[in-house]
Structure 1
Amino acid sequence: MDVNGKQTGTTVLVVDDVADSRYALAAVLSRAGHRVVQVATGHEALTEIDTRLRKGNLPDVALIDVNLPDMSGFELCRRLKERPRMAGLPVVHCSAVAVIPGDRCQALDEGAEAFLAMPAEPEAIEAAVRAAVRAARLRADGQAQVRRLTMLSETIVTIQAARSLQELADAAADGTARLIGSPAAVFVLGQDDELYRGLSRDRTLIALPDESAHRTVAGLLRRLTRGQAGVQLTTVPAPLWPAGFFRPGVQHDARLALVVTQDGRAPVCLAAPTRGLRRAGPEAEALLARLAQATALAAEPLLMYQVERHVALTLQHSFLPLPHRLPELPGMDVVVRYVPASRETEIGGDFYAVLRTGDGALAAVGDVVGHSLEAATVMVEIRHALRAYCIEESDPAVLAERLDRMLQVYHPDVTATVCLALIDPGTGRTRIANAGHIPPLIIRDTGSADYTKVNGPLLGVGLPHPPPTELFLEPSDRLLMVTDGLIENRGIDLEVSMEHLRAAATGSLPGLDALCDTLLACFGHEREDDIAMLALQLKN
């Protein structure tokens, strides 16, 4: 705009078949500071606009005579408004012939912004053009703001659904890039200064910033958010901001939206190149600040869950004996495996146990239903209770009954599955009780494998447990006990997955380690639940 508030530098398309009228309009508009493009017919106007559309420089307003030789000005306006990429072009109709009210009504009905009766004063022509351009720009700004608010809402929904801090950082980075139309990066500084980084999808994955760059960002986040409350917007100049987060190998000044979680522990940072954010307009920073607040709020439960997961894994690792700490069992070899869930937000209650009793060796594999710190805690209680009970009682069915009562009394809202096998290494006699768990699989050296036919109710539901199933193991037999985290997949029946497990076990190499390694290689990648495995074999 000029000093008088008039819009200048706009391009006006004048469509009039009378040369003198085109010249007069062009003269008036040029003196007002507008660029003028002149055409004589409707088809010439459409061709001119198509050409400019391909080049990305549409006119700002069209001044169209009502009476054109090839089509009416109303028809030309209608055709323009029907094209999505031209619909925002403001149109001012003009006519030098007698104007009736129906003409004005038709002009507005076809989408025109104004109607000028000619001849008109230059000020009136300029005012009509200014008003049409101003209204179109306000309308475009409003539509852009609605689109951005919609994108902001969609991004907030996405980040709130994130199941890990990494998913959250990725979602927030993509949402930031959509909001401002520029590459973006998001950082969350978690427990023990672990930095979670998300880059928008428009950033190529080649030449990613190295570990030194991440340490620099972590240090900046700690310093800039120390003692901070609320959202802070700040610029970090290129020499201090590592290259490559927005574009490979390129340094940028970075505009940061910084906020800490409500407990003040974890800094969250949304970062974008300063130039890109400036091009996005003045409202972009406000949207960036709102998204930063939403990201910090969504990060809080994930950070808390991360602490729970750390505690739960510590419990599991503390109470599950390591393979080299398993008790010595004369006449028997035992191999165990434990693999935590791949997803950071999953805390399982899977466990195994190998215990000496007066009647032989007791092997157990179980799973507390649910994924929480409580599940891991109850898992520890079950293992301790089992160790205590089997000092005086080794019958697997009796042990299952006692564990069931323990859960009913102390954890009435918790259920668990467990499979218990009591093996006499000298005779191979094996008694098995199963409380809602996957039954043991026996793999024979004949190339066959079968699940034992043993079942019973879950622990914690108060139903009676049947007597143990009895069988005899040969020295060449391998007995395998697993939790469902190894094979369970959403949408696939568990019996189908169990058959896949049976086939893979049948094809494994001899030996307990080979069996466990084969099954983990087949099924143990990116699992959503913990995996516990126990395999045993009598010694010759």
Structure 2
Amino acid sequence: MSVKGKAVSTVSTVLVVDDVPASRYALSAVLRRDGHRVLLAASAGEALIELDVRMRAGDLPDVALVDVGLPDMSGYELCRRMKQLPPIAALPVVHFSAAARPPADRCRGLDAGGESYLTVPAEPEEIQAVVRAAARGGRCRSDAQLRVGRLALLAGTILDVQSARCLGELAEAAAVGTARLTGVPATVFVLGEDGELHLGFSRRRAAESLPDAGAHEAVSRLMQRVMSGRTGVRYSVVPAPLWPPGFFRPVGSAAHWGDGTPEDAGLALARLSQGRTLVCLATPAYQQEPAGETGHLVERLAHATALAAEPLLMYEEERHVALTLQRSFLPAQLPELPGTDVVVRYEPASRQAEIGGDFYAALSTPAGVLTGIGDVVGHSLEAATVMVEIRHALRAYCVEDPDPGVLAWRLDRMLQHYHPGVTATMCLSLVDPATGHTRIANAGHIPPLVVRDEGAAVYVEAKGPLLGLGLGLDRPPPSEVVLARSERLLMVTDGLIETRGTDLAVSMEQLRLAAAGAPLGVAALCDTLLACFGHEREDDIALLALRRTG
């Protein structure tokens, strides 16, 4: 094997453990004539110390030649102890003795874990052949253990890749696994059909040390050029002058080997036969082809990464469609609402979460200002679509009768008729700006908070069954309160405060206390609550705050 043309020695190192100096000298001479390096120990204790030092340095011998008649313990016991130490257990042991031994003693050596037994004096050719055979067997076992370890590493990496919740997580998991398989830094690129490039690095790096957008575009072009519409897995080496710096090491660091040779890039690219995603596992290139089994494993990882990327890409597209739909029907600017100051805030869930159906509405009616907030149960494109239908139905129904109780009843009937099995929560309020008289109908939603300027907040007693249940439950009449000019009406969806493992009542109390301590004004109230509760939420968040100005 070679790395950048430098030969790696395959000479075996033999540890000779013998308490007789003349015998040690004779054996070492025979072994050195056969090209072996020789380490000497006069006792079992010395041998264990030598092995410990070598183990820490990562330079264990290839064979141990052990006399069975050592002064501090038998060679059989030394062998047994060596086989109990995991890092040393694979070291082949050849027992020898200058004294005649019965067959039972020879069997003891094999039972203790030894590979062979020599009776000395023996012909030099026999000693050399036995040691060579033991070294070959040890290398085969080490290679087999290494292959098993690499396969286990590959399996673990594929599991991490398949568990990724987004393309960024997938790229990072694949990069970390590639670096472990190859022993060099790695960067993984996932290129979608729309040209968006997702990156993952095997090492965490400061933002200022990362390649710029121009380097990303150059890599995208290289990936597409190498594959040229092909499918399957392909390995290619990109010469250093064509490969943008900074992907394997921080920008500005020396991107070359110790001998000054520029650092080429080895690319394992994969695209499924019907896939739209192009995956690239990039590492510094040792040679023109991936190194044997390691290269084969990296190519398998590239194929597994492409398999895992396809459904994530489809999910990203579905989520983008849903968010576009939500934003198009949830305007950031509300219509003129005479006599009131109304502010809304909407925050979609993180990229890892599924799509929700949160919505809000604020409408001017002859009877006052109608506000509503709700959430279609479930997380899917269907939930976002039903949300839009409910919001349009609300706008249509309120033209005829804006009473919250009537609207809740009609929306319930509409949902049962057109979307059986789909449920939604909703809270509606109708505020008379002149008098502050407010009617509130609640359908399984968090009740609204009345927040006073003097630092108090209280939930309105408003309850009712979810929309779309279809169980024939009576819907209670709307609750009635009078909203003073010094009070704000706050409505939120449960995505703001709901936390897995925490009782909703506890979260609602935390919300009440935070609202009571918020600054004056409706915008400041919403922004404060988002700052307190809105980080890394698994669900969409909607808030609506109203205050009388007339």
Question: Which residue type is aligned with residue 149 of structure 2?
Answer: R
Query: What is the aligned partner in structure 2 of residue 258 from structure 1?
Result: 269
Distance (whole Å) between structure 2 residues aligned to residue 481 and residue 397 of structure 1? 17
SS in 1 for 2:71: coil
- Measured against aligned partners, the alpha-carbon deviations of 1:477-501 in whole angstroms (never above 9, x if no partner) come to 1101111111112222222111121
Over 3 Å counting, the alpha-carbon distance change for 1:313 and 1:203 in structure 2 is closer
* Residue correspondences, number: 532
Question: Which residue type is aligned with residue 122 of structure 1?
Answer: P
Question: Which residue type is aligned with residue 472 of structure 1?
Answer: V
Distance (whole Å) between structure 2 residues aligned to residue 22 and residue 281 of structure 1? 40
1:370 is aligned to 2:378: yes
* Residue of 42, 52, 55 corresponding to 1:53: 55
Distance (whole Å) between structure 2 residues aligned to residue 150 and residue 8 of structure 1? 26
- Measured against aligned partners, the alpha-carbon deviations of 1:157-180 in whole angstroms (never above 9, x if no partner) come to 111111111111111111212222
Query: What is the aligned partner in structure 2 of residue 295 from structure 1?
Result: 305
Distance (whole Å) between structure 2 residues aligned to residue 413 and residue 519 of structure 1? 33
Instruction: Quote the sequence identity (%).
Output: 65
Over 3 Å counting, the alpha-carbon distance change for 1:27 and 1:8 in structure 2 is farther
| Structure 2, unpaired ranges of 5+ | 2-8, 256-262
Shift of 1:190: 2.7
Distance (whole Å) between structure 2 residues aligned to residue 481 and residue 241 of structure 1? 54
Shift of 1:359: 2.0
Distance (whole Å) between structure 2 residues aligned to residue 341 and residue 140 of structure 1? 49
1:39-438 to structure 2, matched below 5 A, reads 39-190=41-192, 192-201=194-203, 207-248=209-250, 249-251=253-255, 252-275=263-286, 282-323=292-333, 326-438=334-446
Query: What is the aligned partner in structure 2 of residue 4 from structure 1?
Result: none
Shift of 1:191: 5.2
SS in 2 for 1:390: helix
Q: Which moved more, 1:189-198 or 1:368-377?
A: 189-198
- Verify the 8 A CA contact 2:68 2:96 in the aligned structure 1: yes
- Verify the 8 A CA contact 1:183 1:202 in the aligned structure 2: no
- Measured against aligned partners, the alpha-carbon deviations of 1:216-258 in whole angstroms (never above 9, x if no partner) come to 2122122223311101111112222222222222423221111
Shift of 1:305: 1.0
Distance (whole Å) between structure 1 residues aligned to residue 530 and residue 288 of structure 2? 48
- Measured against aligned partners, the alpha-carbon deviations of 1:277-323 in whole angstroms (never above 9, x if no partner) come to 99x95211111111111111111111111111111111111111222
Shift of 1:204: 6.9
Distance (whole Å) between structure 2 residues aligned to residue 496 and residue 416 of structure 1? 23
Question: Which residue type is aligned with residue 437 of structure 2?
Answer: R
- Measured against aligned partners, the alpha-carbon deviations of 1:316-353 in whole angstroms (never above 9, x if no partner) come to 11111222xx2222212211111111234431211101
- Measured against aligned partners, the alpha-carbon deviations of 1:424-470 in whole angstroms (never above 9, x if no partner) come to 22221111111111111111123211110111111111133211111
Over 3 Å counting, the alpha-carbon distance change for 1:538 and 1:202 in structure 2 is closer
1:477 is aligned to 2:479: no
Over 3 Å counting, the alpha-carbon distance change for 1:180 and 1:377 in structure 2 is same
Question: Which residue type is aligned with residue 122 of structure 2?
Answer: A
Question: Which residue type is aligned with residue 455 of structure 1?
Answer: K
Using structure 2 for the length normalisation, give the TM-score. 0.92
Over 3 Å counting, the alpha-carbon distance change for 1:257 and 1:133 in structure 2 is same
Q: Which moved more, 1:130-139 or 1:11-20?
A: 11-20
Shift of 1:40: 2.7
Query: What is the aligned partner in structure 1 of residue 14 from structure 2?
Result: 12
Over 3 Å counting, the alpha-carbon distance change for 1:413 and 1:124 in structure 2 is farther
- Verify the 8 A CA contact 2:276 2:310 in the aligned structure 1: no
- Verify the 8 A CA contact 2:231 2:272 in the aligned structure 1: no
Distance (whole Å) between structure 2 residues aligned to residue 411 and residue 8 of structure 1? 73
Question: Which residue type is aligned with residue 323 of structure 2?
Answer: L
Q: Which moved more, 1:479-488 or 1:188-197?
A: 188-197
Question: Which residue type is aligned with residue 123 of structure 2?
Answer: E
- Verify the 8 A CA contact 2:342 2:522 in the aligned structure 1: yes
SS in 1 for 2:324: helix
Query: What is the aligned partner in structure 1 of residue 6 from structure 2?
Result: none
| Structure 1, unpaired ranges of 5+ | 2-6
SS in 1 for 2:400: coil
Distance (whole Å) between structure 2 residues aligned to residue 378 and residue 277 of structure 1? 56
Distance (whole Å) between structure 2 residues aligned to residue 383 and residue 536 of structure 1? 19
- Verify the 8 A CA contact 2:357 2:375 in the aligned structure 1: yes
Distance (whole Å) between structure 1 residues aligned to residue 55 and residue 165 of structure 2? 44
